Amino acid sequence: MNLGDARSGKLAQNIAAFGRTLRHAGVQVDSARIVLAHDAALLVGLASKADVGAALEAVLVSREQDRMVFRELFDVFFKDPNMANKLLAQMLPSAEGKAEPSKRRPRVREALTPRKHTPQQAMPSKDEHKIDFDAAMTASALERLRHADFNQLSAAEYRLVEGLVRGIPLPLPRFAGRRTRKAHTGPRLHWSGVMRQTVRFDGDAAVLPRRQRRSELSPLVFLVDVSGSMERYARLLLAFLHAATRRHPRRDVFAFGTQLTDLSASFQRADTDDMLLEAGTTIADFGGGTCLGESLATLRQHHARRFVGGRTVVLVVSDGLDTGEPAALGQELDWLKRHCKHLFWLNPLLRFEGYAPLARGAEQLHQHADGMLAVHNVSHLQQLAASLSALMRSR
């Protein structure tokens, strides 16, 4: 592998270009990581491509969903010694790697896609190349995207926002479990610990260990509307929920339109791109109508065991434009309320000032939900965790 001579500066230039390519693909890479990657490459030496790849992966990748993206880009990027210069000039060729182009992840294909310039469009300057290649944005542009409605984004903005929502944290609700653990405070003594302390100090225990109930994550159930009116929101919200609840041990995800589709198996995928690809093939009614009442009836009949001990938190992501009978929907929502701890309605239509749930399905959701929250832009997704916590405390 020819990474260039470190003394002439080619190694640092190539690794910096590779870091910008990873950033273009949505991997969280900053300048400090790129400097560490340069030092790691010098430490392991350049004799083995596998050793260099493992060293750079250990430094540049911090999220599991980015690991396969890194490996595919590394294989393609360092296959051609001149690839770095071509990437910096934004004239990316269709290089052949181990992965076929059709099988590459969307983020990898986007990072390796050449940008076409029309004859009337002047070629950008060197500084403009750098800004565009890094996918960097001015503060005002980023602030505008944070408050832009998902339904009003262009294709390029939509892809950028999809990368942004994957990094939004969502602190999850917890409850005091039945099992206990050793602690300094608690209502009961930890007798086995007391006996060990007594033996250790010849009958005089200096500290009396106590028992405290373990804190456990509340089970989560997501119901995501994939009808035609929610088409632009569904993909972004699925990506957000997958990334934000990656470490949750009990999460169940369902998509509903004209029927209910279980996406829990798809959400077991480590990579968000893989999850979205599998979910797209699993959902048969994407972009169709909305029958929430019938979908909840299927949930009650076939998936009632997903609701554990009345501790489950249910998030319904929908605009409430249901086409079914409101009486049937009300009955199913009554059952759902009895079997969960909290029911929250995440509604993108709250982007309209003065919105009122006047539709029949929206009226039923509004009556049964513990709270209604907006999820139509990045800013409101960032506020979602605090809003959920406040609503739970008020209940």
Q: Average pLDDT for residues 41-56, to the nearest whole number?
A: 88
Q: Which two tokens stand for residue 260?
A: 């209910």
Identify the structural domains of the chain with CATH numbers, from first to last. 6-114+124-133 (no CATH), 176-216 (no CATH), 218-394 (3.40.50.410)
Chain segment 337-394, per-residue pLDDT in tens: 999 988 999 999 988 888 888 888 899 999 999 999 999 888 888 888 778 877 776 6
Q: State the pLDDT at residue 74.
A: 87
Closest to 238 (Cα-Cα) out of 258, 211, 266 = 266
Closest to 362 (Cα-Cα) out of 333, 319, 324, 316 = 319
Q: pTM of this prediction?
A: 0.61
> 272-299 burial string, b = 16+ CB within 10 Å, else e?
bbbbbebbeeebebbeeebbbbbbbbbb
Is the pLDDT score of 51 beyond 50? yes
Q: State the pLDDT at residue 5.
A: 43
CA distance 191 to 183: 12
Residue 357 has phi, psi (to 5 degrees) of -75, 80
**Which residue would you say has higher pLDDT here, 284 or 198?**
284
Q: State the pLDDT at residue 297.
A: 95
- For 391, the enclosing helix (H) or strand (E) is helix 384-394
Least confident of 112-126, 199-213, 242-256, 357-371: 112-126
Chain segment 190-238, per-residue pLDDT in tens: 778 777 877 777 777 667 777 877 777 778 899 999 998 898 899 899 9
CA distance 137 to 143: 10
CA distance 96 to 104: 11
* Mean pLDDT of the chain, nearest integer: 78
CA distance 255 to 241: 12
- What is the percentage of the chain residues whose pLDDT exceeds 70? 78
Q: In what order do the strands lie in the sheet with 251-256?
A: 260-262, 251-256, 220-225, 313-317, 342-346, 371-373
Q: Cα 121–123–128 angle (5° rounding)?
A: 115
Q: Average pLDDT for residues 85-102, to the nearest whole number?
A: 41
Which residue type sits at 180?
T
Q: Is residue 214 packed enough to be buried (19+ CB in 10 Å), middle (13-18) or exposed (0-12)?
A: middle
Q: Which two tokens stand for residue 295?
A: 């979908």
